[in-house]
Amino acid sequence: MHFKRKDLLGIQELRAEEIEFILDTSASFKEINHRSIKKVPTLRGKTVIHVFYEPSTRTRMSFDIAAKRLSADTYSITTSASSMVKGETFLDTIKNLEAMKPDVFVIRHSASGAPHRIASRTSAAVINAGDGMHEHPSQALLDMLTIRDHKGHLDGLTVAILGDIAHSRVARSNIWGLTKMGARVIGCGPPTLIPAELETMGVSVSHRVDEVIPKADVLMVLRLQHERMSQGLLPSLREYAKWFGLNDRRMRKAKKDVLIMHPGPINRGVELSPEVADGPYSVILDQVTNGVAVRMAILYLLGQVERQEPAMSVTEARLSV
Ligand code: CP
């Protein structure tokens, strides 16, 4: 099949065969990351700009490594080191970067929908590297690749997503992706951290982690997102760890071949005990390794698409996101 999208903004809009195709393409890129010379000329002459207006370790580094391994030229801009501190709007910033003729923008922003607004105004490909509480498509793709690597398939599996689903773009992207690929998804957490729309997305809901653990082929544990929480959603971190944290005692009830996943960064001792995070069921670092291959595949596939002329006018560029 041919991948014809200009941008990668979310998993919600992808068809199952497109997801499968990106996963297959990612699998084919893995081998490059194990060579002694980890570089191919695929994107030579292309320019990738990383626009990260929220902190990131894994996503930013792996997009940068992926682009460099494909021989693209990469540049980064962050809020604190840009003219946004002088009052320039996000759209003005992008318009000015676009005038330097990049081929790809990789955008992380705290506002849901920010990459979508940019995508409709630029001829460059836009990759959503996490927008607010909305979507984190490359994370879901690397998660699905990791599950497929270990289980051989996604259809028919039971994936339990545990914890702070309300604030999680990772959860939303995974729910769209996993359900399209035929997996059963259970959402489990305290009622204050489970969004009302979850059941309409095809997810079963439970508030009892000890009842969910024995059913799961995959336990996808989420980070408690303090930075996006209003006050009063949890009594305390200690209470949360007691009722929802995964530890050795709880894991005795799990299937023998269960996978423990976490998108990172981990709050050790809160959502995962150190023994579980680093234990035999954990595939957390496999997720990180797959992140490079998945992001190489995304950059490669978007890099093949023919570009139209820029659509953003100077007037539009003055609008703020
Ligand atoms: N999983 C993830 O998005 O991690 P970073 O915030 O470190 O990029």
Q: Using the atom order of ligand 1, give the atom closest to the CA of residue 136.
A: 3
Please tell me if the CB atom of residue 225 comes closer than 6 angstroms to any atom of ligand 1: no
Dmax over CA atoms of the chain, in Å, equals 60
Please tell me if the CB atom of residue 56 comes closer than 6 angstroms to any atom of ligand 1: yes
Please tell me if the CB atom of residue 263 comes closer than 6 angstroms to any atom of ligand 1: yes
178-207 exposure pattern, b = at least 16 Cβ within 10 A, e = fewer: bbbbebbbbbbbbeebbbeebeeeebeebe
Please tell me if the CB atom of residue 59 comes closer than 6 angstroms to any atom of ligand 1: yes
Model pLDDT for residues 205-228, shown as the tens digit of each residue: 999 999 999 999 999 999 988 766
Model pLDDT for residues 112-141, shown as the tens digit of each residue: 999 999 999 999 999 999 999 999 999 999
Dihedral pair phi/psi, residue 290, rounded to 5°: -65, -25
As a whole number of angstroms, the distance between CA 172 and CA 223 comes to: 14
Please tell me if the CB atom of residue 61 comes closer than 6 angstroms to any atom of ligand 1: no
Helices and strands counted in the chain (H then E): 12, 9
Please tell me if the CB atom of residue 264 comes closer than 6 angstroms to any atom of ligand 1: yes
Give start and end residues of each alpha helix (H) in the chain: 16-29, 58-69, 90-98, 114-119, 137-151, 169-180, 209-212, 237-244, 248-251, 274-277, 284-303, 314-317
Q: What is the pLDDT of residue 310?
A: 52
Best mutation site among 58, 173, 267 for ligand 1, i.e. most ligand atoms within 8 A of its Cβ?
58
- pLDDT under 70 in the chain at which residues? 227-231, 306-321
Upper half-sphere CA count for residue 186 (Cβ side, 13 Å)? 22
Q: What is the pLDDT of residue 309?
A: 56
Q: What is the pLDDT of residue 130?
A: 98
Please tell me if the CB atom of residue 57 comes closer than 6 angstroms to any atom of ligand 1: yes
CA of 21 to the centre of ligand 1 (A): 24
CA of 55 to the centre of ligand 1 (A): 8
